[in-house]
Structure 1
């Protein structure tokens, strides 16, 4: 499933505040002020009519992308506490998301604020969130940012239960990095092969196979895949991308008829799983991919032993950033940095880059157990002031960014060097990068600067090392995204972001589909090659029990309705 994608955007800011600084997301992406027209955090606090009593709210975040923290223990969070008197104690997910949410619902005792990722429908149906409609009306900055999307944010009962994580503000700025899907490969593999311009999966796996054969004594892993919990989509989505479609989740949408079709039983999925089966038989695929959790997966990516993998940039950023940090400190480590490749079955047009979209089925809400909803909403409204969006994304002028005589934001080489992963945690870039109400990653500020530092051309070019410039030059581009085809506009995008009611036929289809694929994909990949077709037939039989035709019909109707609404 496509979940996280949004983390589309979800990570753009992480990978690009972190990436611009040191190299998602998660979610992953990136805070006093920026220009003479934007007051500093301390000035904002001083301007308050009177000091507010300090209060701490509990915040559960349904992803495991950082250590737990009090936001006031970070530079950004302390500035926001000075402005509002509010601190949040963030608890990140440990273990299974569904089990955690189920426990909350059973006890009817919730944290003040919940950002449950893929579990949001479950909590809405359980009545865990309060209606935010009236509070939004009293929040000028929330109305400014989310105003164009308020109707889309309404549930079936007409109420608004959560704020989606990001909304496009200002002009759309293209992403020079890759925060979405890509086939990643270590640079040393490309360098040894003479920087070939590969476009197909067969070419990609052949490169890996040849490299392993030449380095038998290095204990290398050719390919791994992420399958843990809801992140299983990092493995199951691949056929859709190889077919030349973007991350619409469970369906591919024909651009002429706008018919939505699933791909789980197509020749493309069979071909993908058979490729993994072949790699496994050759000892090139990590069998533990089907049992490793997310942390173990990231640890393997950062171990320097894994040559290739498919994943979304925001989701793999934590591990890749560690390798980038190491290469900045020691250029000889650049061989282990991953390079993104856009692949399709036939080498034709890819659609791995996201088109503009608005994800409606992910967000942050105030629970019915919250002690002071007005105070929480006031914090969010204050957070959405432009000077605070600059603070959470760019940081502090003179410390983490500068402004030239034309008003353009940039970072010096010294600033880029110091903004590594430990700095992101202590300063707060990591904690405020994505999981709050905010401008979308592709947004612009009122003065024309990019909201996300990594999207600012001056920052992107400055952060490139000599090794970065060399490999980009080898491929005839100045940014990583230039390697990929421009995305086609899709009024419904992303299809996976279309809300579904708990217990509805389409929601039941997705749950059952997950059960079937998680049961059979490991069997298919790890089977003896001679047994693959037999297991595939068993899989088709199990999948045939699902009402796939009804699911596709529902999705087609939703997509055509979105197209009509956009006219």
Structure 2
């Protein structure tokens, strides 16, 4: 699920106040918000649930300690165990909420249940740093046309450029080098590279060579399979839909013939013995350990999901066994949309719970996280300890940069990068008043820190960076008018939400079965999938998403 790319422009207080007048100003909890220029720094522990965390996050690293020193806040961070999708519904049923909640796709459920408060009054009276960070994009935090209030802040960068392509088809650098850096533009090109290399090297490091593997036994099916099916079909990232901005028509993407072609190709790869037989059953730890062995030639995953494996490979001196992101599509008629400009999508973020006894401190903390002081700290760490300012530029200390490149536990140990998402963030490409990037994710930093395998691949193709493999946002045309549909707030009790959940669960199961079936049976299996989707009422979902698209465009304009 991708990021947003609109430049954050600072508004005057008067303009922001006028903007917020139309956002609604009632606080759902009934609390009175007093204007104050002072920040309370007395020690306090705030409980914070984040749906996207997959492991414990003790708030005791170097950056966390500095945050506590500057704000008085210690976070007690919890997460859904084993990706439990019932965590928030159970929270709502109990009525027992943490101080701060990041519900992601369940944000609508939290709003419907009155679990999180409206933040409009807080932002107007005490949100100076949030106003500065969001600028004229603050309106995109509004919940809906019917309820144009702001319930959450954060999650994604207001200004975000892509300097490191992710969530695409990838191949080992060793494969590309061995084959003389061939053109890899289509699934057929990708398949040939995997097949030819595997035939030549049936074993790597004493282990059987695996052509391609997926992490598709749990919710990551969406990341390594479902999302990829749209990407290779040349469909912008709108979650489970393809949306036409002009007609405002939405289509459940698994109904589209170009998406079928991707799954048919996976079915063929499986029949050819090029797809890992454990792709749909292996667990997260096994998947990452497998990648770290160096015997997997191809993957289709987001970098945050396998970054630890990359660092393990680099630490073991196997740079050539890391992966090159490539612009691969179903055929040469499709255009890769990886660099599509979606603008800032608002959508999901962190809310303050209605039962919190520390509402003021919780909001003040979110406001502080939007400050320049916090943005530099969470991105770069502590000056003198992690970075220095040299000739007016922030520079990561060499030993810290080396650790960042090779230590899979770098974030845990230092805290650098640990508290960017899902908090308010300027985003990649945004610069401060000194001309320095808020984020360490800049093109120059990526280029200077490429490993040997990456450098060899780029030299082999005559390119400066992996950005150069993909169509630019300029080439892809105008910015999305609706943001990204996967961030829409869908009423949790609507027929649309219920049917889509049923369809999503069904697709994961049925598409997997079709991939693992006989090649001769695939077309019949896919036809059955279409019949079942129609029987579920998928047209109601398409109509509902089309209506939400229209409302979103109206809300923002």
CA distance in 1, matches of 2:516, 2:210: 16
Cα distance in structure 2, aligned partners of 1:444 and 1:383: 16
CA distance in 2, matches of 1:311, 1:104: 31
Residue-by-residue CA offset, 1:51-80 (whole Å, 9 max, x unaligned) = 8431212212212345330x2x11111111
User: Which of residues 399, 403, 416 is equivalent to 1:429?
Assistant: 416
Match of 2:45 among 56, 60, 80: 56
Partner of 1:450: 437
1:380 to 348, 358, 366: 366
Structure number with higher relative contact order (C-alpha < 8 Å, ≥ 6 residues apart): 1
Shift in Å at residue 236 of structure 1? 1.7
Post-superposition offset of 1:50: 9.8
1:310 partner SS: strand
Instruction: Rate the CA distance shift 1:564–1:380 in 2: closer, same or farther, 3 A.
Output: closer
1:483 Cα offset (Å): 0.9
| Alignment: residue pair count | 512
Residue 17 of structure 2 aligns with which residue? none
Distance in 1 between the 2:526 and 2:342 partners? 36
Whether the 8 Å contact between 2:140 and 2:344 is mirrored in structure 1 is no
Does 1:491 pair with 2:478? Answer: no
Q: Deviations over 1:156-189 (max 9, x none)?
A: 4343221131342xxx5633211x3210111111
For 1:93 and 1:323, how far apart are their aligned partners in 2?
A: 29
Residue in 1 aligned with 2:19? Answer: none
Q: How does 1:99-248 map to 2 (within 5 A)?
A: 99-137=86-124, 138-155=126-143, 156-168=146-158, 174-178=161-165, 180-217=166-203, 218-234=207-223, 235-248=225-238
Corresponding residue of 2:393: 408
CA contact (8 A) 1:182 1:313 kept: no
What is the distance in 1 between the residues matched to 2:50 and 2:554? Answer: 35
Give secondary structure in 2 for the equivalent of 1:516: helix
Contact 1:113/1:364, CA 8 A, preserved across alignment:
yes
**Whole-angstrom CA distance in 2 between matches of 1:198 and 1:516:** 32
Farther off after superposition, 246-255 or 476-485: 246-255
Question: Pairwise mapping of residues 345-424 of structure 1 onto structure 2 (< 5 A)?
Answer: 345-348=330-333, 349-405=335-391, 407-419=392-404, 420-424=407-411
Is the 8 Å Cα contact of residues 187 and 339 (structure 1) preserved in structure 2?
yes
Distance in 2, Cα, partners of 1:563 & 1:133:
21
Work out the CA distance in 2 between the residues paired with 1:97 and 1:51: 35
* In 1, Cα distance between equivalents of 2:43 and 2:516: 55
Q: Structure 1 pair 167/466, CA: closer, same or farther in 2 (3 Å)?
A: closer
Question: CA offsets per residue over residues 189-215 of structure 1, 9 Å max, x none?
Answer: 111111112100111012112222222
Match of residue 504, structure 1, among 494, 502, 511: 494
Cα offset, 1:307, TM superposition: 1.4
- CA gap 1:562/1:435 in 2 versus in 1, 3 angstroms: closer
Distance in 2 (CA, whole Å) between partners of 1:166 and 1:173 is 8
Structure 2 residue 292 is the aligned partner of structure 1 residue 343: no
Q: In the alignment, does 2:235 pair up with 1:249?
A: no
Q: Distance in 1 between matches of 2:289 and 2:49?
A: 24
Cα deviation digits, residues 77-97 of structure 1 (max 9, x gap): 111111221100112332243
- 1:436 deviation in Å? 1.6
CA RMSD of aligned residues (A): 2.6
Greater Cα shift, 233-242 or 388-397: 233-242
Structure 2 unpaired stretches of 5+: 6-36
- The DSSP-based 3-state class of the residue aligned with 1:95 is helix
Distance 1:259 1:435 in 2: 30
The separation in 1 between residues aligned to 2:70 and 2:48, in whole angstroms, is 19
Quick one: structure 1 residues 566 and 119, their matched pair in 2 at CA, closer, same or farther if it must change by over 3 Å?
closer
SS in 2 for 1:264: helix
Question: In the alignment, is the contact (CA less than 8 A) between 1:183 and 1:341 conserved in 2?
Answer: yes
CA distance in 2, matches of 1:542, 1:334: 46
CA distance in 1 between partners of 2:164 and 2:39 (Å): 43
Q: For the residues of structure 1 that align with 2:342 and 2:173, how far apart are their CA atoms?
A: 30
Equivalent position of 2:448 in the other structure? 462
How far is the alpha carbon of 1:393 from its aligned partner?
A: 0.6
Residues 393 and 429 in structure 1, CA contact (< 8 A), matched pair in contact too? yes
Contact 1:412 1:462 in 2 (8 A): no
Further displaced range: 483-492 or 57-66: 57-66
Label 1:297 to 1:196 Cα distance change in 2 as closer, same or farther (>3 A): same
Q: Is the 2:118–2:150 Cα contact (8 Å) retained in structure 1?
A: yes
What is the CA-CA distance between 1:264 and the residue it aligns to? 0.9
CA deviation digits over 1:293-335, x for unaligned, max 9? Answer: 44443333333232112123334334334334x26xx3xx112
Aligned equivalent of 1:41: none
Cα displacement (A) at 1:252:
2.1
Contact kept? 1:181, 1:353, Cα under 8 Å: no
1:514 is matched with 504
Maintained 8 Å contact 2:130/2:370:
yes
Equivalent position SS for 1:454: coil
User: Cα 1:323–1:124, aligned 2, differ >3 Å: closer, same or farther?
Assistant: farther
Distance 2:352 2:555 in 1: 29
1:360 touches 1:498 (CA, 8 Å); kept in 2? Answer: no
1:411-461 deviation digits (Å, cap 9, x = unpaired):
35433113333332122124213122222233222222222112152x233
- 1:540 equivalent in structure 2: 530
2:310 is matched with 320
Does 1:91 pair with 2:81?
Answer: no
Which sits farther off after the overlay, 338-347 or 124-133?
A: 124-133
By how many angstroms is 1:532 displaced?
2.1
